[in-house]
Amino acid sequence: MKNVFSIGETAKINNISIQALRHYDKIDLLKPSFINKDSGYRYYSIDQFIYIDIIKHAKNFGIPLKELKNTLTLGNMHELAENVRSYHVYLDEQIQSLHNAKERFEKVAEMIEYSLMAVENLGPYRRIIEERNIIKLSDYREVGNFEINSRLVEADTKKSGLEFGFESGYFIDVPTFINSGEEFFTSAYLVFMDGELPKQPLSSSEYIKSFIPKGDYVCITYNEHNKDERIKQIQGYLKENNIEKIEFIIVSELYDDFRNQSNEIQVFLHPQ
């Protein structure tokens, strides 16, 4: 059985380029088994094919060749196995990272699609909204700075492995809205994608962990051009349906138009 192969044969058998093998030799990642002193031809042993497999898979999954070099030069198969196992853990982390990125893109798409659908409604509509884990301001006086400070909150919560759920908005004072139609902000919030809130404490005492309960909401959308009209519509709906006991109202920002962004008023009716 042939145990030694020329660089061309090695490249063909392992579906790799001759240039790649020469590069691995140059950087001391994979040296030929021996080099003919007279001809200068490089030869590789069949035992080295497993190293080529490891290099190819490592490249496919973004493992740095510099790290791989230390693994392949060990010579001890037990240590090699341990190092390859560590790459397995690294790949698991990369897979989880890609999965999280995929979920974030899906959430963005869902939010945009929902926003475009919601603004087609010309009047109030009912919807069941799932429970939302949030971080909100503890002091209404800081609402004006929320747009900037919310970025700091996002960075803070990433330490706990949580991701922004691409929904943010404001709690508004219920009596003021019902009586005069004005939106007096009492707090602001950010929704997070994970099913649980950060385990680590937030660095700022201005924010508290909370949730918005799952429930039946009556909603309406508005933008700067139809805001007054739409608010009167939902005020009329609440009056006509004798809805008096309202626990909270929020205004959620939508993703429908960069230049004329809409909001959705969500009036909590009862839990589900």
The model's pTM is: 0.67
pLDDT at 121: 94
Provide the pairing of β-strand 125-129 with 215-222. antiparallel
Q: Are residues 126 and 243 in the same domain?
A: yes
Task: Grade residue 153 by pLDDT with cuts at 50, 70 and 90.
Answer: low
Contact 137, 206 (CB under 8 A): yes
- Least-confidence region, from 14-18, 68-72, 95-99: 68-72
pLDDT band at residue 80 under the 50/70/90 scheme: low
Residue 41 domain boundaries: 4-73
- Tell me which H or E stretch contains 240: helix 227-240
Structure tokens at 130: 């799932």
Q: What is the pLDDT of residue 149?
A: 52
Considering the domain architecture, whether residues 65 and 124 belong to the same structural domain is answered as no
Q: By three-state DSSP, how is residue 9 classified?
A: helix
5-19, 46-60, 135-149, range with the lowest pLDDT? 135-149
Task: Please check whether residues 125 and 224 belong to one and the same domain.
Answer: yes
**C-alpha span between 155 and 133 (Å, rounded):** 17
* The pLDDT value given to residue 213: 94
Q: Does some domain include residue 86? A: no
Side chain identity, residue 159: K
If you search the block for the tokens 């994608």, which residue do you land on?
193
Report the DSSP beta bridge partners of residue 173. none
Domain at 106, CATH number: 3.20.80.10
Kindly state whether residues 116 and 59 are assigned to the same domain. Answer: no
**Residues 134 and 189: beta-carbon distance below 8 Å:** yes
pLDDT at site 60 = 76
C-beta of residue 162 within 8 angstroms of C-beta of residue 198? yes
- 80 within domain boundaries: no
* pLDDT attached to residue 77: 64
Residue 107 domain-assigned (yes or no): yes
CATH of residue 33: 1.10.1660.10
- Going by C-alpha positions, the residue among 66, 86, 83 that lies closest to residue 74 is 83
Tell me the mean pLDDT in the region 185-214.
72
Q: Each residue of 83-128: pLDDT tens digit?
A: 777 777 877 888 888 887 888 888 889 999 999 999 999 999 999 9
Phi, psi (deg, nearest 5) at residue 124: -65, 150
Do 179 and 226 share a structural domain?
yes
- Please provide residue 79's backbone torsions phi and psi, each rounded to the nearest 5 degrees: -65, -35
